[in-house]
Amino acid sequence: MSIRIGILGATGYTALELIKILLRHPEATIVALTSRQEGSPHVASVHPQLTGRLDLCLENLEPTAVAAKTDMVFSCLPHGASASSIMPILEGNTRVVDFSADYRLRDVPTYEQWYGQVHPDPQRVGKTVYGLPELFASEIGSAQLVANPGCYPTSAILAMTPLLREGIVDPSEIIFDSKSGVSGAGRSPKLTTHYPECNESLAAYNVGRHRHTPEIRQILGLAAGREVDVLFTPHLIPMDRGILTTAYAKPLKSVSESEVIHVLRSFYADRPFVRVVDHLPATKDCTHTNFCDITARVVGGRIMTISCIDNLIKGASGVAVQNMNLMFGVPETMGLL
Amino acid sequence: MSIRIGILGATGYTALELIKILLRHPEATIVALTSRQEGSPHVASVHPQLTGRLDLCLENLEPTAVAAKTDMVFSCLPHGASASSIMPILEGNTRVVDFSADYRLRDVPTYEQWYGQVHPDPQRVGKTVYGLPELFASEIGSAQLVANPGCYPTSAILAMTPLLREGIVDPSEIIFDSKSGVSGAGRSPKLTTHYPECNESLAAYNVGRHRHTPEIRQILGLAAGREVDVLFTPHLIPMDRGILTTAYAKPLKSVSESEVIHVLRSFYADRPFVRVVDHLPATKDCTHTNFCDITARVVGGRIMTISCIDNLIKGASGVAVQNMNLMFGVPETMGLL
Amino acid sequence: MSIRIGILGATGYTALELIKILLRHPEATIVALTSRQEGSPHVASVHPQLTGRLDLCLENLEPTAVAAKTDMVFSCLPHGASASSIMPILEGNTRVVDFSADYRLRDVPTYEQWYGQVHPDPQRVGKTVYGLPELFASEIGSAQLVANPGCYPTSAILAMTPLLREGIVDPSEIIFDSKSGVSGAGRSPKLTTHYPECNESLAAYNVGRHRHTPEIRQILGLAAGREVDVLFTPHLIPMDRGILTTAYAKPLKSVSESEVIHVLRSFYADRPFVRVVDHLPATKDCTHTNFCDITARVVGGRIMTISCIDNLIKGASGVAVQNMNLMFGVPETMGLL
Amino acid sequence: MSIRIGILGATGYTALELIKILLRHPEATIVALTSRQEGSPHVASVHPQLTGRLDLCLENLEPTAVAAKTDMVFSCLPHGASASSIMPILEGNTRVVDFSADYRLRDVPTYEQWYGQVHPDPQRVGKTVYGLPELFASEIGSAQLVANPGCYPTSAILAMTPLLREGIVDPSEIIFDSKSGVSGAGRSPKLTTHYPECNESLAAYNVGRHRHTPEIRQILGLAAGREVDVLFTPHLIPMDRGILTTAYAKPLKSVSESEVIHVLRSFYADRPFVRVVDHLPATKDCTHTNFCDITARVVGGRIMTISCIDNLIKGASGVAVQNMNLMFGVPETMGLL
């Protein structure tokens, strides 16, 4: 099998990381890259890391033109634009992983409240599978469209889902204190991500109003079987990549630390990319890989989890390829170890 | 007035920062530096930043010999060693600020439990003023010995004390999620602070058992008038200096965000080094200064505070000089703006 | 004496650093800040570090309006705009330090070739003192207008001037391989200074065509008494601040390393901000200070110098205040130690 | 084919990087790891990145015991110890790549002068192939023992060899000003690599006496067919990985920039891991890859080259696997793209 691949919006960091993963993937062939940049620049002029590794130009192609020559499209477009581009592709047989938030939320009003715009494709909202393979592998396998998860939600959901499913932690209050490297903010220069501003500094941002909040809440709600109250605080950390999420929850029953870790370990026993560890993980243990490392602590009557991922890989492009592998029936780990 | 100053244990980062502040202080004269290093090295050979700025050697002096020629001694020695060196000094009139934890806690058993050793000077435990000038200025002014606060506790205590005093937050559960630059770990090379280990990485450490926990608990207990349940999680951040503490508490009454900020602002109205701000502060707003920036948010039924300091200045050497200023009756801000 | 000060173009990093230095300067009072930003924002909303420290707004004032209420104006405007703003000020008695390159070069054609624009004030080109106090202190003292040096040139010129004056090194080929922190690139976000681009990376830029090349060449030419051939290569380093310049020259006579260091040390014996050291200096020895550390090595028949400064202080705002001190007859080191 | 592999001295960064590459290599199977650490720790307890990826312990094995069960041994031991361990292995058929400097130099006196010790295996000095595949591929293919190059030398030699072979640059003076990330200093904590010391700082080190100097000189001497005078200055840069070498040479004939680039491009036309580029490369273009990016400039009558590598991959473990591929007749790029 060779999967012919197109990438919409190939100028950003997630697209670059996706290309690098796909270049190592034995069944993938990248055949089209798009961008709205003038002059169809060579991919290596946009991403010098790819010099000599991929001989394609970024073209301003219509989504259907990309679909016509591919089996699989990854959309790295911004929300709104992404759904609009994906809709015509779904008329055909090409399969799609959407990196944007357009199809992640379960209902249209929540989308429109948090993203401040009308949804271009309200019909598919709530019917699209959430592309977290550790939770939804079977639906992903048969889906034409998969909503790739947000980076922060991946670190939060993987840590707390097993504990909510087992009824160990109280869904009525879970605090996620998350810390992310700067690549998560994208490739467009802004003052907040200007080197001398964010280097040697640290700040919280979007407190109480980050758009990943409803995403975490909805997916954890599925695990808990009821509404989950999530307080999510993101912080910007002076490093390229990596997310560490420290979560604080109340136990619903008396459990020891080793019992909590055991629940996590059992839940992920067959999942190749979640590593439940006893030590306190560092983001560096996971960066440049598709792994998520998780541990738990019981402190002062509370249950804490600490989880680490690479925001660009397990939090974006790695999980996207993991989803593709499931969609095309090749081994889930192909190209990712 | 000219205050003659001695520094015990002058090889570390807090001593270096202290020396740099004192060199700008119009009433301070550094007359003695000690260390156990062989050969009495010149201070500039240990701290090249001080080349041409201070012409003293680090000598292996007895504490009483330092006391004999100084009005004021700062002890930058490790806990245990610090109290042992300070005890003979207190026989005379020389005043002392102790950077170690030896005199911070209110009772001996807590000290011995958390620090794992017998206290060399149990008589003074519980009778020594905690050197946080925003809370204890008058006791500091008349004290011979002041226990300089820990860096994390300063960021935590300044944020929550006004809210506990006003009865706004529930003392039965306060979570402090703290993030610190690496200089807080001191100047002795270790694998965890080796550049390629901690650079481009992030991890929690000492979860549930960091020694600053009882210090925060005891001082906040004074503010609350009852026991305070503190969950404190420190994280190591790839930057030189700066601490940001994100705190999560439950309100005891219904308050708005602006009311919480108003309580903080009123409390610190006359305090020159606490800046209550409306925006989300970054550590860089405070690094290389003696300021603590604090803001508050009310999110999802919880009260959050975010506070920033420079761990080496407001968290160590700056507040030490602020304490000295109060002890010698010079303006509190002298040498610190 | 109290020097009333205005700053033109107060939104950038050099202006911020200048303000912080002046706030500590016992004879300086900042009375006016300008910018073209709409709405006259408070300085603390542009520079949160200044919260509570300076109560001024950034106003869109005419240069003459600033001059009318000040004794001293610092222009932090871009080249071209700077000279145009300074010209009317010089009609009065207000004195000016220009941070831009407008008055640094000795002749108009070189300026127009390297800066690609017509000089707004050609009359004063070649008649304005170059504000490097270690070389031109007496002219600076009596000048109304001083051209503040470039950051790279300061590191290069201070290292090589004594050796050229003494006829020790061959002016026909001097290589300056310079490395700078990112704050030198200014505060406007660009892709090259976007955190995930320049962090964890290193590159040369503007090879063979950086605008500081003619500046170094002209000032070293004065030292050598003849034309000096300069090859200057700047590199962008993932750190906030600091410049290290490694220089390679050929000896004109046989000298030992200690003789070269002796020449440097003698030359700067009375200069408070140049520290000639025997060890290999690190930029961190100088950052956040107005010092320049220099050493020399004789290796393989060549003479090398290594010099470090803080690009924002000795390379910009610190030397500007040093110049002001000379212009107003106060101690050269005032506010700078 | 499956190549059974042993790694001597598996606790450091080059060993970790080597293991990660080999885990992706379709023909490699790691069967033994050694270290002198007590208690035969699991590799994942030493390198948490490898959790779940490699199930081996680090054992204190004799070199011959490792050789008995492997086809290929990589020695990551320090110089001296490395040759002593390799000598008995060479009695058998197991092939060896030595990461240390023991077999790199062409003569024993130079080794003993620069490394300050007696060589344990003087017989093989001068007869061992230098493992830079771009220059010595055919000798490497048939060798039992290959001396893996130093990281700095790789960046210097690849840039200058084509220009020396073509007689374009003067071998009588070539300056290499090199800048390296901190992982190059190894994994043992030292004050110079302690985070708060080297972060936000920059310094030259070992000026005129770095041990890579004779290595560069000898290999470039082979290219030039005569002695080459090399001045090599390493600098420590606050980043994890990456080397950029800026080289300055004198032309022997008049050449344009495009001619110099053409010479480089022709020389490396068939070499998969050297990318001759027109733009100024950044280390980030090469980090986490086995590529070396090179460009050239003609400035002020001099020829400059700028070359970038990842010090741990093309500068150590990547080239080691490239050598292994040649030694076992599998495609040179296997596991490395």
Q: Is the pLDDT of residue B1 over 80?
A: no
Across the A/C interface, how many CB contacts are shorter than 8 Å? 59
- A202·B231 Cβ contact <8 A: no
Residue-level pLDDT at D63: 97
pLDDT category of residue A229 using cuts at 50, 70 and 90: very high
Whether A237 contacts chain B with CB within 8 A: yes
Rounded average pLDDT over D89-112: 97
Are D58 and D36 in contact by the 8 Å Cβ rule? The answer is: no
Whether B287 contacts chain A with CB within 8 A: yes
Residue-level pLDDT at B3: 98
Rounded-to-integer distance, Cα D162 and Cα A70, Å: 43
What is the residue-wise DSSP string for D283-327? Answer: GGGTTTSS-EEEEEEEETTEEEEEEEE-TTIIIIIHHHHHHHHHH
- Which CA distances in Å does D69 have to A76, A196, D63? 48, 53, 10
Residue-level pLDDT at C94: 98
- E strand segments, B165-285: 169-180, 203-204, 230-236, 243-251, 274-276
Catalytic residue, candidates A151, A198, A292, A308: A151
pLDDT category of residue A44 using cuts at 50, 70 and 90: very high
**pLDDT cut 90: percent of chain B above it:** 98
Rounded average pLDDT over A236-247: 98
Q: Is the pLDDT of residue C313 over 90?
A: yes
Rounded average pLDDT over B83-92: 98
Residue-level pLDDT at B156: 98
Cβ neighbours for B16, distance < 8 A, ≥ 6 positions apart: B10, B47, B49, B50
Rounded-to-integer distance, Cα A53 and Cα D146, Å: 28
Rounded average pLDDT over C74-80: 97
Q: Which residue of B11, B16, B195 is the best one to mutate when testing the D interface, meaning the one whose CB has the most D CBs within 10 A?
A: B195
Q: Tell me, yes or no, if the two domains B3-127 and B152-311 fold the same way.
A: no
Cβ neighbours for B170, distance < 8 A, ≥ 6 positions apart: B249, B250, B251, B252
Q: Is the pLDDT of residue D146 over 80?
A: yes
- D284·C197 Cβ contact <8 A: yes
Rounded-to-integer distance, Cα B46 and Cα B49, Å: 9
Rounded average pLDDT over B18-27: 98
Rounded average pLDDT over A128-138: 98
Give the model confidence (pLDDT) of A57-76 as tens digits.
999 999 999 999 999 999 99
Closest listed residue to residue B208, CA positions, set B160, B186, B175: B175
Domain-by-domain residue ranges, chain B?
3-127, 152-311
Q: Which amino acid is at C162?
A: P
Q: Is the pLDDT of residue B274 over 80?
A: yes
Rounded average pLDDT over C303-317: 98
Q: Is the pLDDT of residue D293 over 90?
A: yes
Rounded average pLDDT over C32-46: 95
Alpha-helix runs per DSSP H in chain C: 13-24, 43-46, 63-68, 81-89, 108-115, 133-142, 151-165, 195-198, 212-224, 257-267, 318-328
Phi, psi of B329 (to 5 degrees): 70, 20
- D282·C201 Cβ contact <8 A: yes
Mean pLDDT of all residues belonging to chain B: 97
**pLDDT cut 70: percent of chain D above it:** 100
Q: Name the residue among A51, A52, A288 with its Cβ closest to that of D288.
A: A288
**pLDDT cut 70: percent of chain A above it:** 100
Residue-level pLDDT at B86: 98
D229 vs C contacts (CB less than 8 Å): 300
Return the active site residues of C. Answer: 151
B183 vs D contacts (CB less than 8 Å): 196
What's the token pair of residue D131?
Answer: 């493992």
Q: Is the pLDDT of residue A1 over 90?
A: no
Which pTM was predicted?
0.97
Known catalytic membership, residue B151: yes
Q: Is the pLDDT of residue D1 over 90?
A: no
- A282·D48 Cβ contact <8 A: yes
pLDDT category of residue C205 using cuts at 50, 70 and 90: very high
C202 vs D contacts (CB less than 8 Å): 179, 237, 239, 242, 244, 282-283, 308
Q: Is the pLDDT of residue C95 over 80?
A: yes
DSSP state of D214: H
Instruction: Give domain C152-311's CATH architecture.
Output: 2-Layer Sandwich (3.30)
| Packed helices B151-165 and B257-267: angle between N→C axes, nearest 10 degrees | 110
Q: How many other CB atoms are there within 10 angstroms of residue A263's CB atom?
A: 18
**pLDDT cut 90: percent of chain D above it:** 98
pLDDT category of residue D147 using cuts at 50, 70 and 90: very high
Residue-level pLDDT at B192: 96
Rounded average pLDDT over B308-327: 98
Across the B/C interface, how many CB contacts are shorter than 8 Å? 43
Q: Is the pLDDT of residue B291 over 80?
A: yes
Residue-level pLDDT at B133: 98
- C202·D177 Cβ contact <8 A: no
Rounded average pLDDT over D143-153: 98
* CA A85, chain centre distance (Å): 20
Rounded-to-integer distance, Cα D20 and Cα D26, Å: 12
What is the strand order of the sheet A95-98 is part of? A58-59, A28-34, A3-8, A72-75, A95-98, A145-147, A129-130
Q: Is the dihedral of CA B265, B269, B273, B279 positive or negative?
A: positive
pLDDT category of residue D282 using cuts at 50, 70 and 90: very high
- E strand segments, chain D: 3-8, 28-34, 58-59, 72-75, 95-98, 129-130, 145-147, 169-180, 203-204, 230-236, 243-251, 274-276, 292-299, 302-309
Residue-level pLDDT at B300: 86
Q: Is the pLDDT of residue C86 over 80?
A: yes
Give the model confidence (pLDDT) of B174-218 as tens digits.
999 999 999 999 999 999 999 999 999 999 999 999 999 999 999
pLDDT category of residue A300 using cuts at 50, 70 and 90: confident
Give the model confidence (pLDDT) of A170-185 as tens digits.
999 899 999 999 999 9
Residue-level pLDDT at B232: 98
Give the model confidence (pLDDT) of C102-152 as tens digits.
999 999 999 999 999 999 999 999 999 999 999 999 999 999 999 999 999
Cβ neighbours for D128, distance < 8 A, ≥ 6 positions apart: D103, D104, D143, D145, D146, D147
pLDDT category of residue C300 using cuts at 50, 70 and 90: confident
What is the residue-wise DSSP string for C67-129? Answer: HHT-SEEEE-PPTTHHHHHHHHHTTSS-EEEE-SSTTTSS-HHHHHHHH-S--S-GGGTTTSE
Residue-level pLDDT at D283: 98
Nearest CA distance, D337 vs chain A (angstrom): 7
Give the model confidence (pLDDT) of B131-167 as tens digits.
999 999 999 999 999 999 999 999 999 999 999 999 9
pLDDT category of residue A13 using cuts at 50, 70 and 90: very high
pLDDT category of residue B52 using cuts at 50, 70 and 90: very high
Are B306 and B249 in contact by the 8 Å Cβ rule? The answer is: no
Q: Is the pLDDT of residue D231 over 80?
A: yes
- Which CA distances in Å does D84 have to D63, D77, D94, D147, D175? 9, 10, 15, 14, 34
Whether D277 contacts chain C with CB within 8 A: no
| Packed helices D212-224 and D108-115: angle between N→C axes, nearest 10 degrees | 150
Beta bridge partners of C203: C236, D282
Rounded average pLDDT over D269-274: 98
**pLDDT cut 90: percent of chain A above it:** 98
Rounded average pLDDT over B317-329: 98
Mean pLDDT of all residues belonging to chain A: 97
Q: Which amino acid is at A156?
A: A
Rounded average pLDDT over C319-331: 98
> Do β-strands A243-251 and A169-180 pair in parallel, antiparallel, or remain unpaired?
antiparallel
End-to-end CA distance of chain B: 20
- A194·C193 Cβ contact <8 A: yes
Fold of C3-127: Rossmann fold (3.40.50)
Rounded-to-integer distance, Cα A176 and Cα B300, Å: 13
Give the model confidence (pLDDT) of B31-41 as tens digits.
999 999 889 99
Q: Is the pLDDT of residue B57 over 90?
A: yes
Q: Is the pLDDT of residue C1 over 80?
A: no
Alpha-helix runs per DSSP H in chain A: 13-24, 43-46, 63-68, 81-89, 108-115, 133-142, 151-165, 195-198, 212-224, 257-267, 318-328
Q: How many other CB atoms are there within 10 angstroms of residue C92's CB atom?
A: 12
Rounded-to-integer distance, Cα B99 and Cα A149, Å: 47
Residue-level pLDDT at C193: 97
Mean pLDDT of all residues belonging to chain C: 97
Residue-level pLDDT at A49: 98
Rounded average pLDDT over A280-301: 97
What is the residue-wise DSSP string for B42-72? Answer: BHHHH-GGGTTT---BEE---HHHHHHT-SE
Residue-level pLDDT at C48: 98
- D195·B190 Cβ contact <8 A: no
- Neighbouring subunits of C (3+ Cβ pairs under 8 A): A, B, D
